[in-house]
Structure 1
Amino acid sequence: MNALTGILIVLGVGLAFLIFNHDTGQTFGIDNDSFGRVIYLLPIAGLLATGILAGRRGHAGEVLRNLAIWLLIILGLVTAYLYRDDARNVAARVTAGLLPGTAVVMTTSEGGDEVVIHKTRGSHFQTNVSVEGKVLAMLVDTGASTVVLSYDDARRVGLNPQNLNFTVTVMTANGRAMAAPVRLDEVGIGPIVRKNIRAMVAEDGKLGESLLGMSFLSTLGSLQMQTDELRLRD
């Protein structure tokens, strides 16, 4: 049996145990997340051990060189594992910088999640928001008392504007307009999800882009606006 076959057997058996013990949450007294990490690391350790043993067949200098190489590999893997959250945050910052307006989930020093939005070229905080399961491009607007959907976006999320009562006067970038009050079952940005959110639908042609207003933003744990980025915490 070659090394690859052994690795596949270990992974297969480990996966079978995880599937079988999914409901209990533990395998051999270890929580399934930790057990999964062990199963993931065992084949790597086996490959490293195989490489070290194979290196012992040569001269002393070659053996020492191979040992040094494998030790560096092990240290690299351990370092990557220990600093995986930092690496994820760096990747998230790069993504946010290259794609302004993209909502990027980062890990805080306390271990929680933080959503970071960078300004777009128009100096606005614009991001993709999940509304009733549909993704809409929305402007973050702390001056708006509620979430405000454009006429077209309201139709995209399953509302029928023709059946709404436009009884509320609002001010938009296009001037005064009438809006209809509604309730949204779900609004979310990344891991931050809220249920039963107050919102309004603007008249047709009166709002170019939907607004993420305070009926959602006021439910957050914190909202920090800096020069070119907005940080949201659940």
Structure 2
Amino acid sequence: MGCGCSLGIRGIVLAAGLLGSGIRLGDFARNIAIWSVIILGLVAGYQYRYDLQDAASRITAGLIPGNPISGMNADGTLTVTLAKSANGHFEVNGRVNGARVHFLVDTGASSVVLSQEDAERAGIDTASLNYSVPIMTANGQARAASITIATLQIGDIERHDVRAMVTKEGLLTGSLLGMNFLQTLGGFTVRGDQLILIN
């Protein structure tokens, strides 16, 4: 009973203080409600941060084709999400030696393959390369040059000293992100229209 009286007295003192300060109870109640909603929103946002991050990634990837979306999964591992392009393939804008290169993700390619144009943009002297490695393309057998890429970056995933091939001019319309890069990852998975690379 003593505890109930103490709480009652505190409530009366609080109410008297509010009334005496000139604050209207309606304004006070509205402010309490607004702050309660803000605090609940922050707690919910923190609780569902990974789901919200996935949703934001899907929206951004849909608006900017080929744009890699870096994030974290539930255990804090770095991920990069790629959206399927209109042609049904996974494509991504990456960087080779700091230069922007558009890749087609190709699990059928054993190696990263750069078109001659992309290799030149990345600072590789294609005129001095030895095009002696036989490769199979959609148009049949061709020859490519073996190189080492100093830096290959897809989103926030970065690899150094990556073996790659360079094709002669006109052989490829774009570059391929092959298995020798994908095998350096912790894994990759397809979820609907998304390819998720796990560092």
TM-score when scaled to structure 2?
0.81
Identify which of 97, 101, 107 aligns with 2:66. Answer: 101
Task: Measure how far apart 1:185 and its partner are.
Answer: 0.7
Instruction: Report percent identity of matched pairs.
Output: 46
Q: Which has the higher contact order (CA 8 A, sep 6+)?
A: 2
Q: What runs of 5+ residues in structure 1 fail to find an aligned partner?
A: 1-52
Q: 1:80 to 1:229 in 2, by over 3 A?
A: closer
Q: Hey, what does 2:93 align to over in structure 1? A: 128
CA contact (8 A) 1:128 1:136 kept: yes
Instruction: Tell me which residue corresponds to 2:186.
Output: 221
Q: Does 1:204 align with 2:169?
A: yes
Residue type at the aligned position of 2:168: E
Residue number in structure 2 paired with 1:68: 33
Distance 2:193 2:35 in 1: 44
Higher helix share: 1
Contact 2:50-2:74 within 8 A present in 1 as well: no
Cα separation, 2, equivalents of 1:62 and 1:186: 59
Structure 2 distance, partners of 1:103, 1:68, is 40
The answer to whether the 8 Å contact 1:127/1:137 transfers is yes
How many residues of Structure 1 are paired with residues of Structure 2 in the alignment? 180
Report the Cα offset of residue 117 of structure 1.
1.2
Gaps in structure 2 of 5+ consecutive residues: 1-17
Query: What amino acid maps onto 2:39 in structure 1?
Result: I
Whichever of the two has the greater Rg, that structure is 2
CA positional deviation for 1:226:
4.4
Return the match for 1:146 from 111, 115, 138: 111
What are the superposed Cα offsets for residues 160-207 of structure 1, whole Å, 9 maximum, x if unpaired? 111000001112234322100000111121121111110011011111
* Distance in 2 (alpha carbons) for counterparts of 1:137 and 1:57: 65
Q: CA RMSD in A?
A: 2.0
Find the counterpart in structure 2 of residue 161 from structure 1. 126
